[in-house]
Amino acid sequence: MNAIRTFLKKHDRLWQSLRFVKHWITDGRQEAVRVINEHKEELRIREELYRKTLLTEEEKTSQQNTTFPDPVQFSILVPLYNTPETYLIQMLDSVKNQTYPNWELCLADGSDEAHAYVQRICQDEAAKDPRIRYQKLKTNEGISGNTNRCIRMATGDWYALFDHDDLLHPSALFEMMKVISAGPADLIYTDENTFSETPKDAFNPHFKPDYAPDNLRANNYICHFTAFRKELLEKAGGGFRPEFDGSQDHDLILRLTEQAEHIVHIPKILYYWRAHKGSTAEAIQAKPYVIEAGKKAVQAHLDRLNLKGTAEDGPVPSMYRLKYELTSTPLVSILIPNKDHRDDLKRCIDSIKTKTTYPNYEIIVIENNSTEPETFAYYETLKQDPKIKVITYDKPFNYSAVNNVGAGAAEGEQLLLLNNDTEVLSPDWIQEMLMYAQREDVGAVGAKLYYPDGTIQHAGIGIGIKMLAGHWHKNFPKDHPGYFGRLTYAQNVSAVTAACMMVPAKVYKALGGLDESFSVVFNDVDLCLRIREAGYLIVWTPWAELTHYESKSRGSDEDTPEKKAFFVKETNRFQRKWNKTLTEGDPYYNPNLTREKEDFSPR
């Protein structure tokens, strides 16, 4: 066992012996060897990611010699407090090594007398480089107060936020200047990685989505590295606010994004977040006040936007569940296409009737060429319920046309497209979807769907995955937090499945409903892309949960020659129609992530 511990400690401090020993005891030597091999593969991926971030001498020289037409000055804001000497020196070096030279480093130091070396080192560096501006504070004013002191020192066009124990990639400012030069931009952020000793051992790359307001309310995913125009800060009400210390950056970024017109994400790792004992990067539990401050920041944001709701604790610390008040209780029309499969339909409708707590709904079953007598007998029982209508579409199966006929018969302000092979799990599923669908900026809302074995079937659809469109986190365990917690909070996505999709009736009708040229597949993705094209957001929420007995009603898309021909035809049509979107990629799925799988692994 000592040899095992030595191996794990040598290669990765996060992989201590406990996990290995557990496998050794419970699963035997073969499983333990498998764990070691998996770990070796993780190390290989980390080394490859690090190698890709390295600048060659040619690249470094090229960047240093690049002349921009209107170069801006970056004021890098660093609040100091008892910074460990090694961390301080490394941080300073990472700024001095920037390939873009037009910067100033603003250091406000609230360190105590026991850490007098901070002043000595900073003053020595400032004497050697006039771009380094240092101020020793009489008292420590906290992270917000110290950063505000940095802002008062700053003379640059853009402000950039930098923590005293972290590191910048040498190209960080150069890449931001490229974005500014290409324009327009008033707030820029990058991807980041977490490290312990040096960037070479960075172990947790965060490949982020482009700007997504619902994500940001639930989780400060923007975080590092962020830069913004001086004027934008003034519009947002000025600097940091001490009452949000711990999540002061979340509060500021929410205020900045409220005012920003052009938010740009650079999908490159340009920031290294140091994890050490007591740091937020190491464990959020090390700073429990951060969680409460984050909820306060989100609540203040909701209040400013007059969004009636609250931020509550989510399953993952510092990631929040938003609970919006319903502004009204409109009629929700649940559209369920059906052909035979009486037992599936009954299970679906029974789950709606027995579990749903939202009172104002109607169910419209769209009968499509059933042949079994028991199906029609069941319809007769359904008709006795004033909340349920059964209408008929007697043409050949066309999923889009069936739903469009149902939408034409619906009286509700909200349409809820639902497959007959689903079963409601969460009683407040309609409220959880409606709280987003009621917003004027939202055009569709999707739910969290499970396979019968409890693994995930649907948690949002990514464009370009599996060639065309794939389900994020497919087959993940039910309670898995997902990539950086993305299975635990409501977020913006490019598409959701029509197996359970709520769409405001006015949006559905304005866009002409589902495109009937997509009779079998891609009709829901196509609708979602048109919704986004019209300027609406699409939201996926993990708090509306259903089981989806997928494809029971129709079988596989390719289990007969006829279905295979339909699939190929509609696949080709989708590729032609959305070629530009497929080429550009999904704004909510980072280009550094794989397109071959649905698990958010590095590309």
Per-residue pLDDT reduced to its tens digit, 236-247 = 999 999 999 999
Q: What is the pLDDT of residue 284?
A: 55
Angle at 602 between CA 599 and CA 603, to 5 degrees: 105
Instruction: With beta carbons less than 8 A apart as the criterion, state whether 177 and 266 touch.
Output: no
Write out pLDDT tens, residues 565-581: 878 888 999 999 999 99
Measure the CA angle with vertex 543, ends 308 and 487; round to 5°.
Answer: 110
Is the pLDDT reported for residue 203 higher than 90?
A: no
What is the arithmetic mean of pLDDT over 469-495?
96
- Render 564-587 in DSSP notation, one character per residue: HHHHHHHHHHHHHHTHHHHHH--T
0.75 surpassed by pTM: yes
Give the list of residues 6+ apart from residue 43 with CB closer than 8 angstroms, or none.
11, 12
**Buried b or exposed e, range 313-322, using 16+ CB within 10 angstroms:** ebebbbbbbb
Q: Where are the alpha helices (DSSP H) in 248-363?
A: 248-259, 289-304, 342-355
CA distance 401 to 28: 55
Task: State the DSSP string of 123-177.
Answer: HHHHHH-TTEEEEE-SS--HHHHHHHHHHHH--SSEEEE--TT-EE-TTHHHHHH
Positive/negative CA dihedral, 221, 227, 229, 231: positive
Residue 166 tokens read as 């972290």
Taking residue 147's Cβ as centre, other Cβ atoms within 10 Å add up to 24
Strands 158-161 and 74-80 come out as parallel
What pLDDT score does 161 carry? Answer: 98
pLDDT at 220 over 60: yes
Query: What is the DSSP secondary-structure string of 521-576?
Result: SSHHHHHHHHHHHTT-EEEEEEEEEEEE-TTTTT--TTSSHHHHHHHHHHHHHHHH
pLDDT beyond 70 at 599: yes
**What's the rounded mean pLDDT across residues 150-169?**
97
The confidence score (pLDDT) of residue 17 equals 43
- Checking if the pLDDT of 6 tops 50, the result is no
CA distance 81 to 109: 6
CA pseudo-torsion sign 285, 318, 293, 244? positive
- Residue-wise pLDDT for 515-527, tens only, equals 999 998 999 999 9
Cα 451 to Cα 399, 432, 550: the distances in Å are 21, 20, 7
What's the rounded Cα separation, in Å, for the pair 304 and 529?
A: 30
* Dihedral over Cα of 19, 25, 31, 34: its sign: positive
Q: Give the pairing of strands 158-161 and 132-136.
A: unpaired
pLDDT tier at 27 (50, 70, 90 boundaries)?
Answer: low
- pLDDT at position 13 is 41
Return the CATH class of domain 332-584. alpha beta
Structure tokens at 559: 């289990």
Mean pLDDT of 222-248: 96
The structural domains of the chain, with segments of one domain joined by +, span: 2-53, 69-290, 332-584
Q: What is the pLDDT of residues 72-114, one digit of tens each?
A: 999 999 999 999 999 999 999 999 999 999 999 999 999 999 9
Q: At what angle do helices 289-304 and 248-259 cross, to 10 degrees?
A: 20
pLDDT interval class at 396 (50, 70, 90): very high
Confidence of residue 288 (pLDDT cuts 50, 70, 90): confident
Give the per-residue pLDDT at 51.
Answer: 87
At residue 37, the pLDDT reads: 66
Closest by Cα among 539, 533, 513 to 524: 513
pLDDT at 12 over 50: no
For the chain, percent of residues with pLDDT exceeding 90: 83
Residue 546 near residue 500 (C-beta atoms within 8 A): yes
- Please, which residues have CB within 8 angstroms of residue 397's CB and are 6 or more apart in sequence? 339, 368, 369, 519, 520, 554
Q: Is the pLDDT of residue 69 over 90?
A: yes
| Banded model confidence at residue 9, pLDDT cuts 50, 70, 90 | very low
> Which tokens is 520 given?
């079998």
pLDDT higher than threshold 70 for residue 2? no
Q: Please report the DSSP string for 324-354 in residue order.
A: EPPS----EEEEEEESS-HHHHHHHHHHHHH
- The reply to whether domains 69-290 and 332-584 share a CATH topology is yes
pLDDT at 22: 47
CA-only gyration radius of the chain, Å: 27
CA distance 412 to 360: 9
> Hey, is 387 helix, strand or coil?
coil
69-290 is a CATH 3.40.50.2000 domain: no
**pLDDT recorded at residue 443:** 98
Can you give the pLDDT at residue 256?
98
* 277 vs 32, more confident: 277
What DSSP element (H or E) covers 18? helix 17-53
Assess contact for 456 and 383: CB atoms under 8 A: no
**Percent with pLDDT over 70 in the chain:** 90
Return the pLDDT at 49.
84
Q: Which of 372, 367, 371 is nearest to 382 (CA)?
A: 367
Category of 238 on φ-ψ map: left (φ > 0), alpha (ψ -120 to 50) or beta: left
**C-alpha to C-alpha distance for 302 and 296, rounded to whole angstroms:** 10
- Kindly list the distances between the CA atom of residue 333 and the CA atoms of 388, 426, 437, 483, 546, in Å, as whole numbers in the listed order: 10, 18, 13, 34, 17
Distance CA 301, CA 444 (A): 23
| pLDDT confidence bin for 290, thresholds 50/70/90 | confident
- Single out the residue of 18, 8, 13, 485 nearest to residue 202, CA to CA: 13
Mean pLDDT in residue range 247-270: 97
Tens of pLDDT, residue by residue over 434-453, are 999 999 999 999 999 999 99
Mean pLDDT of all residues in the chain?
A: 91
Place of tokens 């940095």: 150
Amino acid at 380: E
Does the structure show a pLDDT above 50 at 185?
Answer: yes
pLDDT (0 to 100) of residue 554: 42
